[in-house]
Amino acid sequence: MKGLSIENISMRFDLKNGSSVQALKDVSLDIEEGQIITVLGPSGCGKTTLLNIVAGFLAPTEGKVVLNDQIVLGPGAERGMVFQQGALFEWMNVQENVAFGPRMKGMPKAEQNKKVKHLLGVVGLADFEDKAVYELSGGMQQRVALARCLANDPDVILMDEPLGALDALTREKMQGLVLKLWKETGKTILLITHSVEEAILLGERLLVLAPRPGRIHKEYKLPFAEMGVNMDLRDVKKSDGYTETRDEILSIIWEMEEEIMGRTDDN
């Protein structure tokens, strides 16, 4: 079966002082090939942990992740990652960064160059090959990170707040780019965000996680990502149902945050 399935995952961190944190409890999720899913939830509810388990950086205490009928046991090239920031290699220029994955596979140089050129064009950074990454703006760096991930042609793209460090305008442009890439490449995308708007705009499916223990609280199926592919995102925000969905999710999150606050107050 093609696709990514997360089966009954629990994750418990045993702390040095003897106590333990239940970061995730019994999380299950089936993602079809080519879906884009956004994950939302209050801080500390286990979003990053979930992504790290799917990426193979962490082994869950219970459950398993299966990608295309293969159990995930560690990191692999078929699951690409885009991090919030700081994951580009400063000692390589833009071209070398993007070519990193193909190079690891032993792709011939000429082919690498062709691929890099194409991808940089796709993310709107044509002619930036020879630039050093520390000379680029934050938005440009994230474009390079996207291109680097795509160059490896992964089945699934995992993004942990990829646009979190960007300013509002750049962020909006990048959201458009993510949707465009999703549609053009047909990749499965799992994207974590703190922004409710971003989660609604980019998520075909939107998962709201609840904290302590981290679990799926609610799932939405939304039409906005599909709309956003051909439409200006500002217009998408004016379309039917957008405002209602946003307010509903906001109030859920608010409730959770308040509950967390209340609980810490009791302590």
Partner 1 sequence: MTILIIYVVIFIAAFYIVKAVSSMSKSREDFTSLKTVTFGDESAVTPNRAASIISVFAIFAIWAAFTGSKLIPFHVPGPFIGELSFTYTAVNSLGEKDDADVRISVYDVQTGEIPEKIDIELGSGFALNDTAQIIAWRSALIKVKKNDVGGKDKKYKIITINGEPISPSSELFIDDARIYMTAKGTLSLTPYKGWQMQPIWLPSPEAVWSRLIKVSSEGYKNFSLFEHLGWSLLRVIVGFVAGALIGIPLGYAMGLSGWFRGWFDPIVEFMRPVPPLALIPLVIIWFGIGEQGKIILLFLASLWIMTISARAGVSGVNIAKIHAAYSLGASKWQIMRLVIVPNSLPEIFTGARVSMGVCWGTVVAAELVAAQKGAGMMIINASKFQMTDLVIMGIVLIGVIGYAIDILMRIAENYLVPWKGK
Ligand X SMILES: Nc1ncnc2c1ncn2[C@@H]1O[C@H](COP(=O)(O)OP(=O)(O)OP(=O)(O)O)[C@@H](O)[C@H]1O
- Smallest distance from Mg ion to CB 192, Å: 7
Q: Which does 215 bind (CB under 5 to 8 A by kind): Mg ion, ligand X, partner 1, none?
A: none
Per rule CB under 8 A, is residue 254 in the interface with partner 1? no
One residue of 8, 30, 73, 104 binding partner 1 per CB under 8 A: 104
Name the residue among 201, 242, 206, 198 with its Cα closest to residue 39: 206
Which residue has the CB atom at the shortest distance from ligand X?
Answer: 48
Name the nearest CA neighbour of 157 among 171, 169, 141, 142.
Answer: 142
Q: Does 134 bind partner 1 (CB under 8 A)?
A: yes
User: Judged by CB under 8 A, which of 115, 148, 171, 215 binds partner 1?
Assistant: 148
Q: Which two tokens stand for residue 106?
A: 């032993």
Q: Is 95 in the site for ligand X (CB under 6 A)?
A: no
Contacts with ligand X by CB under 6 A: the residue count is 12
Query: What are the structure tokens assigned to 225, written together?
Result: 């990502």
195 lies in the site for Mg ion, by CB under 5 A:
no
Bridge partners of 192, per DSSP, are 39, 160
Classified as helix, coil or strand, 6 is strand
Instruction: Write the binding mask 21 to 60 for partner 1: x where contact by CB under 8 A, - elsewhere.
Output: ----------------------------------xxx---
**Contact set for ligand X, span 48-77 (CB under 6 A):** 48-49
Q: Which does 75 bind (CB under 5 to 8 A by kind): ligand X, Mg ion, partner 1, none?
A: partner 1
Stretch of residues binding ligand X (CB under 6 A), selected from 40-48, 115-123, 128-136, 244-252: 40-48
The Cβ-side half-sphere exposure at 255, using a 13 Å CA radius, reads 10
Alpha-carbon dihedral angle through residues 111, 112, 115, 121, given to the nearest 10 degrees:
-130
Check residue 13 for interaction with ligand X (CB under 6 A).
yes
CA-closest candidate to residue 54, choices 156, 139, 140, 168: 156
CA distance 49 to 63: 14
30: β partners: 5
**How far apart (Å, rounded) are the C-alpha atoms in residues 134 and 88?**
9
Applying CB under 8 A, the span of 115-123, 148-156, 172-180, 235-243 interacting with partner 1 comes to 148-156
CB-based contact 25:215 (threshold 8 Å): yes
Q: Interface with partner 1 includes 87 (CB under 8 A)? A: yes
* Of 66, 38, 51, residue with least CA distance to 11: 51
Residues of this chain that interact with ligand X (CB under 6 A) are 13, 15, 21, 23, 41, 43-49
Residues of this chain that interact with partner 1 (CB under 8 A) are 55-57, 74-77, 79-81, 83-91, 100-101, 104-105, 132-134, 148-149, 152, 154
